[in-house]
Amino acid sequence: MTIRVNLAESSYDIQIENNAIDRCGNLFDKYNKVFIVTDSGVPKEYSERVAKSANGKAVVFVMKRGEENKNFVTLMNICNDMLTNGLTRKDCVCAVGGGVVGDITAFAASIYMRGIDFYNFPTTLLSMVDSSSGGKTGIDFGNVKNVIGTFYQPKKVIIDPSVLKTLSERQVRCGLAEALKMAATFDSKLFDFMSKGSFTDGEMQHIIERSVELKKSIVEKDVKEKSIRKSLNFGHTIGHGIEVAGKESRYHGECVAIGMVAMSSSDSSALFTR
């Protein structure tokens, strides 16, 4: 399935297809170099498969895993490696990983030489259903999440649901929390569907596809988050607070889930007094 995000000259496709990461070679034909950013928690196999599609043009940068590394130091290291490898606007940058890799890589792509083509290959459920599309980029700074960043749309998002087979149960639950956020805010049918709690691969693919469709329609209406896109922050204000206070001991999706429960409860104080 391919979903088109219509944003005038910044329009792009989101491809959702098993084994898509092995079939992306044609994307890279027009570039001289393909700079791939991944992290130490992502199975190496995935960046290697994307690199193989790039036919000898790929350079791979591996950052340290974790939200605590979504910072200026890592950004500087990425930009430094891009410069050392002689990247120009005739080249492209790819993120292969979850939300942290996607956010910081897209940010680097948006500022390097005032913008270089960017492709996102999300490998976590959370980044598939939400963060890989829509063009939010950024890093954390001064204990505030995503406070430095840009809006910069990818040239394409390639979602390969088959890579989820290596994702931990905990990470899958985090992704389901973000999908549930989409359902709770915009699609009661998806919410009812998700209420059953456990899913086959086919059902998981349906959740991804429907979440991406919802995200697309919201981003098309309000790309710069002036109105309706703010709904996608449901649960995030409290969630980000918990995430920062806990020094990232809880994952993003877990904090968002707690934030959504708190916002939905008539007596949210009960959540915080135990």
For ligand GLY, the closer CB: 131 or 205? 131
Q: Is 137 in the site for ligand GLY (CB under 6 A)?
A: no
- Measured distance CA(165)–CA(41) in Å, rounded: 14
Among 122, 134, 161, 259, which residue sits at the site for ligand GLY (rule: CB under 6 A)?
134
CB hemisphere CA count around 100 (13 angstroms): 22
Q: How far is CA 121 from CA 94, 227, 231, 242, 273, in A?
A: 7, 28, 25, 28, 40
Its sign, for the CA torsion 264, 268, 270, 271, is positive
Question: Which stretch, 88-96, 108-116, 129-137, 138-146, contacts ligand GLY (CB under 6 A)?
Answer: 129-137
Q: Is 136 in the site for ligand GLY (CB under 6 A)?
A: yes
Query: Closest Cα partner for 123 from 177, 50, 42?
Result: 42
Q: Is 130 in the site for ligand GLY (CB under 6 A)?
A: yes
For ligand GLY, the closer CB: 131 or 171? 131
**Residues sharing a CB contact under 8 Å with residue 223, sequence separation 6 or more, in sequence order:** 7, 134, 135, 151, 229
For ligand GLY, the closer CB: 49 or 70? 70
Among 110, 131, 171, 205, which residue sits at the site for ligand GLY (rule: CB under 6 A)?
131
Catalytic residues: 114, 136, 178, 215, 225, 229, 233, 236, 240, 252
Whether 82 and 112 have beta carbons less than 8 Å apart is answered as yes
Q: Is 229 in the site for ligand GLY (CB under 6 A)?
A: yes
- Measured distance CA(127)–CA(107) in Å, rounded: 15
Question: Which stretch, 16-24, 163-171, 224-232, 241-249, contacts ligand GLY (CB under 6 A)?
Answer: 224-232
**Residues at the interface with ligand GLY (CB under 6 A):** 130-131, 134, 136, 225, 229, 232
